[in-house]
Amino acid sequence: MIAQRLTDDIHLFRAIDWDRKLFDELVPLPEGTTYNAYLVRGRDKTALIDTVYPPKVEELIAALKAAGVERLDYIVANHAEQDHTGAIPALLALHPEAKVVTNAKCKRFILDTLPVDRDAFITVRDGGSLDLGGKTLTFHLTPWVHWPDTMVTFAVEDRIAFTCDFLGAHLATTELYARDEAQVAISAKRYYAEIMMPYRGFSADALAKVEALDPVLVAPSHGPVHDRPAFVFDLYRGWTADEVKPLVVIPYVSMYESTAKMVAYLTDRLAERGVAAQPVSVVDLDSGALAMSIVDASGIVFASPTVLGGPHPSLAAAAILINALAPKTRQVAVIGSFGWEGSLPEQVIGLLPRLEAEVLEPVMAKGLAREETLAEIARLADQLAGLNTAEAAAA
């Protein structure tokens, strides 16, 4: 780990996790990740904003020592998850004079999860500030970007917003700034979809709050720093907006090709109607790829054969995940096949209580989908394309 300069007095200490494949035992990390800690030196006091994941603690301590940091007055915790707070106990052991600066919720979570003394904290409110001597830090509560405790710290004189998870990306890189914007946009979208999308309204609120600070740098605690904040602001504005794109995502499983045939037929009919279709096999699912696919989707069609009277377990797992992610999709439907019985569509829809979407008529084939079933799928494509059948016939 090395210190990377943002200004003469503000440096990034970034632990790069090239090989981490999974976060929280749930979120795939195809590009690895970084844990960013920021050192801010004022005339009188020194603060560290966020720390690192526990396995990287020794790296951080060695890098701070190499940078000549002999005294630490404050450790600002923007968020209690251990990938940012993991080094606090070790840093407090080395710097017993330091205080942990955070909001009341974050303090409670840190006390719940780490061996930190209750007296080690300074609790701040929304809009509170800390004077380091010529450097002022202000604190801005931005709940639910990721947990209810999240906040943004702003270095007033340098106009740098430290946003922790918010506006970040799981992307292992040595580049200080987001130079390859196409690559960063993909990593940032994956991260937004997995972490922020379930609380989209809170992300929109947090975006407005950070934009109002008018930062010249946005410095998240994962991935590169943004020296062109408008880039990441515009991405988030699109993702958090109510508008959807004409895109139907089709999570599917097929055992004997009947459901696969229905998926292929639906895909073609949607394309004919000017609606993009994205079938996603949920066998060996990349949950991050599925999450990304539904960020702006206008519709989601779940496709499954009937297995033991219900959806295939892999399709059920995908439905549970999509429900938890609560995308802004406007329409949902279920298609699939059955052999002798089952209430597959009702069971799948029952897994989606968080989705505020219109539920369209399901299409189920007994065995292989034949002409009549395919005609029903064409009618479903009409509905997903915003056409009624009469309009479609006239087109």
- Residue 252 DSSP class: E
Shortest reach from residue 36's CB to ligand FEO, in Å:
10
- Residue among 146 and 379 whose Cβ is closer to ligand FEO: 146
- At 60, which amino acid appears? L
Shortest reach from residue 288's CB to ligand FEO, in Å:
15
- Residue among 241 and 324 whose Cβ is closer to ligand FEO: 324
CA neighbor of 24 nearest in space, from 155, 146, 179, 150:
146
- Residue among 45 and 222 whose Cβ is closer to ligand FEO: 222
Shortest reach from residue 345's CB to ligand FEO, in Å:
35
Q: Which residues bind ligand FEO (CB under 6 A)?
A: 79, 81, 83-84, 146, 165, 222
Cβ contact 133:44 at 8 Å: yes
Shortest reach from residue 39's CB to ligand FEO, in Å:
19
Cβ contact 140:127 at 8 Å: yes
- Residue 19 DSSP class: T
Shortest reach from residue 140's CB to ligand FEO, in Å:
17
- Residue with nearest beta carbon to ligand FEO: 81
| Tokens 């999570």, residue located | 251
Cβ contact 363:377 at 8 Å: yes
CA neighbor of 278 nearest in space, from 307, 246, 254, 255:
246
- Residue among 79 and 95 whose Cβ is closer to ligand FEO: 79
- Residue among 17 and 165 whose Cβ is closer to ligand FEO: 165
- Residue among 140 and 146 whose Cβ is closer to ligand FEO: 146
Shortest reach from residue 80's CB to ligand FEO, in Å:
8
The CA distance from 24 to 40, in Å, is 29
* Residue 7: C-alpha distances to residues 1, 245, 280 (Å): 18, 40, 45
